[in-house]
């Protein structure tokens, strides 16, 4: 039985949008973590190049999560790491830093679960952390849609939020009532076109202010 729980939310955060915030808020309410650790990606190997500098992405994260319920830590290890960044390396570094006793819970979107079998050493993630998955409209994460090895891991490891909160690693919880359909690509597109109507409700207001102040995501300079 572990007392402490740290939630991990990694991502490009290019930019951080209301989908990220809603995901974090949902799981913070469910798990009451002692800390929410935000991990902006350095060079994510499965995604196109990032549009914005790490400094801007960190500043936008600070703006988005300024008045948060749990203590927030912005962890820049993936930005500082040379070369491509892999979740498994990040989790190992976190265990070295935080020890093996506490519950580490990694938040994933449905799209990430569908690709989990392509991640480096994905089966070893369970030796280091628990996974929480949020469903997303348009992503089918039924057993038939998933890679069979991932589906098998899900069947064996599914547990309740209370179990994840008090177990260091090895479990999965799937939240089926998270329905945030939001894409960073669509947000960047709307920003590039300065289409404020399309952005309605997509960005935390302090993040939109920051983007406008620094003229980020505009196609013309």
Give the model confidence (pLDDT) of 197-210 as tens digits: 888 889 999 999 99
pTM: 0.90
Distance between CA atoms of residues 47 and 69, nearest Å: 30
Q: Please provide residue 152's backbone torsions phi and psi, each rounded to the nearest 5 degrees.
A: -65, -45
* DSSP state letter for 82: S
Give the model confidence (pLDDT) of 92-127 as tens digits: 999 999 999 999 999 988 888 888 999 999 999 999
91-93-98-100 Cα dihedral, nearest 10 degrees: 60
Beta bridge partners of 103: 5
* The CATH fold of domain 5-181: Rossmann fold (3.40.50)
Kindly report the average pLDDT of the chain as a whole number. 89
Distance between CA atoms of residues 171 and 162, nearest Å: 11
């Amino acid at each position: 039985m572990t007392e402490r729980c740290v939630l991990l939310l990694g991502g490009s955060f290019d930019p951080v949008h209301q989908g990220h915030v809603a995901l974090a808020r949902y799981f913070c309410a469910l798990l009451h973590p002692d800390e929410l650790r935000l991990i902006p990606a350095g060079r994510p190997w499965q995604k196109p190049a990032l549009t914005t500098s790490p400094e801007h992405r960190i500043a936008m994260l600070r703006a988005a999560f300024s008045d948060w319920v749990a203590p927030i830590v912005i962890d820049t290890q993936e930005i500082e790491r040379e070369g491509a960044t892999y979740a498994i390396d990040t989790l190992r570094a976190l265990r070295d830093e935080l020890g093996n006793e506490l519950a580490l819970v990694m938040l994933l979107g449905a799209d990430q679960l569908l690709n989990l079998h392509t991640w480096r050493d994905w089966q070893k993630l369970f030796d280091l952390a628990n996974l929480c998955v949020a469903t997303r409209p348009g992503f089918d994460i039924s057993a038939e849609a998933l890679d069979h090895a991932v589906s098998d891991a899900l069947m064996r490891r599914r547990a309740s939020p209370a179990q994840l909160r008090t177990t260091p690693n090895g479990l999965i919880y799937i939240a089926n009532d998270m329905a945030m359909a939001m894409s960073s690509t669509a947000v960047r597109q709307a920003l590039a076109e300065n289409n404020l109507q399309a952005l309605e409700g997509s960005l935390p207001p302090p993040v939109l202010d920051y983007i406008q102040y620094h003229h980020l995501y505009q196609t013309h300079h």
